[in-house]
Structure 1
């Protein structure tokens, strides 16, 4: 079986590629800027905005790992067209997010889930929480402000989050892509505990040995902060929506789904902090 992985150079996608490779599974690693082939990994150019790249990128992959388009109102139709462009694929695994299964059917992310579920393929949905790797890898969500000013910029109040390590998401993806028994099911993949952003700031400060504080930004402050990224307004709106969901408690759940899928304990925020943020 060959697995096509979307976003293969991103925070989650490259860990999925690594985990599949470690499991001996051939991968078509799809991204706008593919690298060099190595081992069982075939990098392929893929661009959601250029459908001419789709069929060559998909090739003869028998399974798809899809992240989708978070801030696009037409994402569901686009994802449905992509799946329809992969006649050799029998299975689709979608990376969604915690709580999407409880969202209205016309909400963009829920509509993407439904497009996958109605695609005629065998499907599984993985719903991770906020990624721990956002703190050091996503420049305009957290990393730049943490590095330059020691501020964890998050308009979250005191609401906790069951932060997910991307490596755990990748291990869960390998399980549902390569083993039977997961068709038509959704799994909420979280860490072992829910922490507030203030508590995360304290962990990062302790691990790094420098002052880091949580800045509980107002909506206007957050919009101005994200606008400096130069990213589209739709992305800014999407991020503000995510923080509204944090304040509403949507990302607070902690589940045993990762342990059930893999037989392993999920990585802890403290372990991530010690590993990545040590001086």
Structure 2
């Protein structure tokens, strides 16, 4: 049996659909089961609650042999470290107690490179904690998710400006959420693998922010230009949105590390077998409908 976390999230709901289509034996942990469709609730075993709750994990992991694990980003958390620890500590105990055989996590590029990288470092530390239990593990490792651009759909429509906290001449590797979900499904359905490895999911593009803006402009049929957001501007915007300082710190450290260490940059090779979707293809399918 596969235990799936975040079944209504942007990755989780796609993964859930893929696993249901494959008729996998499924159990989902859902904080709000009412967000699941009636068809899902009738087809899979649903455990209500948070996957940071040891009692929920004890119930969900009973009789299971595989787990898909994703720590949901929660900008309302007091600190990013405490947030990740709240999920990691009960997971590690439950993996051992229930003798879970294999775990697939959504991780990130940057292993062996990222240092003091905020949310990136916390994500990689989670992988290390899982691997220390000895369980077979695959870390699905994307760079910048294209879906992050949807947060700027209104601004791009109204101002024609793409804003990123990235140096103008620095390549930013990207990946579509659908490719992360597809790769995760393939791993969970493939009984052949063992051991502990990373699985990069890096799209075909190697674009600077200016080049990304040009692609968006071509797809949308209007001029789109790039404007760099400074770390101070990014932090102030989060403060205005009520984000706690401890989470802002994690975002600031992550942005600085991306700019200085380049682990989402041109040195990360594309992986066409796991991430075939280009920014142009994704924009046509998703961004244009959000803006027009």
Question: TM-score by structure 2 length?
Answer: 0.80
Structure 1: stretches of 5+ with no match in the other structure: none
- Classify the secondary structure of the residue corresponding to 1:175: helix
Q: Which residue of 2 aligns with 1:85?
A: 94
Q: Superposed, which structure 2 residues align to 1:1-279 within 5 Å?
A: 2-34=1-33, 35-39=36-40, 40-48=43-51, 50-68=53-71, 72-74=80-82, 75-76=84-85, 78-86=87-95, 87=98, 89-103=100-114, 107-136=121-150, 139=151, 142-143=152-153, 145-146=155-156, 149-157=159-167, 158-179=169-190, 180-248=192-260, 249-252=262-265, 253-255=267-269, 257=271, 259=273, 266-278=276-288, 279=292
- Select the structure with the greater relative contact order (CA < 8 A; seq sep ≥ 6): 2
Cα separation, partners in 2 of 1:125 and 1:61, compared to 1, 3 Å: same
Work out whether residues 160 and 246 of structure 1, in 8 Å CA contact, stay in contact via their aligned partners in 2: no
1:190 to 1:233, Cα distance in 2 relative to 1, 3 A? same
Q: Give yes or no for contact 1:46–1:57 (8 Å, CA) kept in 2.
A: no
The question of whether the paired residues in 2 share the 8 Å contact of 1:101 and 1:110 is answered with no
Asked whether the equivalents of residues 66 and 95 of structure 1 are also in contact (C-alpha less than 8 Å), the reply is: yes
Alpha-carbon distance in 2 for matches of 1:231, 1:271: 33
Q: Say what the alpha-carbon RMSD is for the aligned residues.
A: 2.8
Cα distance, 1:104 vs structure 2:
5.3
Q: Secondary structure at the match of 1:98?
A: coil
Q: How many residues align?
A: 270
Q: Which has a greater percent of helix?
A: 2
Could you tell me how far apart the structure 2 residues matched to 1:143 and 1:239 are? Answer: 21
Change (3 A) 1:49 1:94: closer
* 1:48 Cα deviation from its structure 2 partner: 4.8
1:64-116 per-position Cα deviation (integer Å, ceiling 9, x unaligned): 11123666324357424224225163111121101134345994233211101
Q: CA deviation at 1:128?
A: 0.8
- State how far apart, in whole Å, the 1-side matches of 2:183 and 2:111 are: 18
User: How many angstroms does 1:189 deviate by?
Assistant: 1.1
Given that residues 52 and 90 in structure 2 are in contact (C-alpha distance below 8 angstroms), is that contact kept between their aligned partners in structure 1? no
